[in-house]
Amino acid sequence: MDDAPIVFDGVSKRFGALTVLDNVSLTFPKGKTTAVIGPSGTGKSVLLKHIVGLLHPDSGSVRVLGVDMARARPDAIYATRKRLGMLFQDGALFDSLCVGDNVAFPLMQHRRDLSQRQQRERVEEVLEMVELPGLYDRATSALSGGQRKRVGLARAIVNEPEIVLFDEPNSGLDPMTSDAIDALIHTMKARLGITFVVISHDIVGTINVADHIAMLYQGKLIAHGTTAEVVRMEHPILRRFLGRNLILPEADDPSPPHLPGVP
């Protein structure tokens, strides 16, 4: 795990009397998808904000691509962020810009080496990857919830980041659109081979996309391992969260666990 791009070491975070993260130590393996799961209000989003340096731990450290995100100088933090991409819950698209300009935003800020034509070509390429070809000039107000997520995903990957973070990629979506987003994450993972971190309380989606799972409960890390390991753990809270009807394959069956009716 020496080359792990994200390392949490004994991280604690309190807001007033509420302990949101309690001595969390966790590594996110390179080139894998790690899902951080847990009930609402258990510290998942706070953990994500520590990765991008929007929040700092009260104790412990968060190292991202070798940079301590709490103690580094602002220019080092900004330099690290250029190597990250993030999909926000509702996309966090800029209303004043069209779809293409939203996606091109990181390129316009940080890739002056690319001509406008090259930037446009790159934007159209990633829009095609997220299955939204030809939408460059569309207003963001004309997009559906699923389309906003895809545009947000296109913006997150346009600058070829080493890590992509997903904050509740399925929230607010109908089951079919949710499945489509999961499939997209799956395709991206295979195609780009970069490190993904997915924050979610959607069990079906998580099990479909994750190589590793970490579960937070009341600020503590109560389970961590490969997806196959975690779904077999007997921790009572984990079992309650995963649900009784999760179908586990036989021990010698390499297929992943799944829910009834879910391919």
| Contacts to another protein by CB under 8 A | 49, 52-54, 74, 78-79, 81-82, 84, 86, 88-90, 92-94, 105-106, 109-110, 155
Least distance between another protein and beta carbon 48 (Å): 10
If one counts every other C-beta atom within 10 angstroms of the C-beta of residue 178, the result is 20
Nearer to another protein, 197 or 207 (CB): 197
**Closest by Cα among 78, 132, 141 to 110:** 78
Q: End-to-end alpha-carbon separation of the chain, Å? A: 32
Least distance between another protein and beta carbon 204 (Å): 25
Least distance between another protein and beta carbon 166 (Å): 12
Least distance between another protein and beta carbon 100 (Å): 16
Calculate the alpha carbon distances from 13 to 90, 106, 156, 217 in Å. 25, 30, 27, 14
Spacing of C-alpha 137 from chain mean position: 27
Nearer to another protein, 8 or 88 (CB): 88
Nearer to another protein, 5 or 106 (CB): 106
Cα–Cα distance measured from residue 212 to residue 247, given in angstroms and rounded to the nearest whole number: 18
- Which residues neighbour 160 within 8 Å (Cβ) at sequence distance 6 or greater? none
Least distance between another protein and beta carbon 111 (Å): 12
Nearer to another protein, 52 or 237 (CB): 52
Least distance between another protein and beta carbon 9 (Å): 22
Least distance between another protein and beta carbon 52 (Å): 5
Nearer to another protein, 92 or 262 (CB): 92
**Closest by Cα among 13, 124, 15, 108 to 69:** 13
Nearer to another protein, 59 or 115 (CB): 115
Q: Are strands 84-87 and 6-15 parallel, antiparallel or unpaired?
A: unpaired
Cα–Cα distance measured from residue 69 to residue 47, given in angstroms and rounded to the nearest whole number: 12
Nearer to another protein, 74 or 254 (CB): 74
Cα–Cα distance measured from residue 239 to residue 246, given in angstroms and rounded to the nearest whole number: 9
Calculate the alpha carbon distances from 184 to 131, 180, 187, 222, 232 in Å. 9, 6, 5, 29, 26
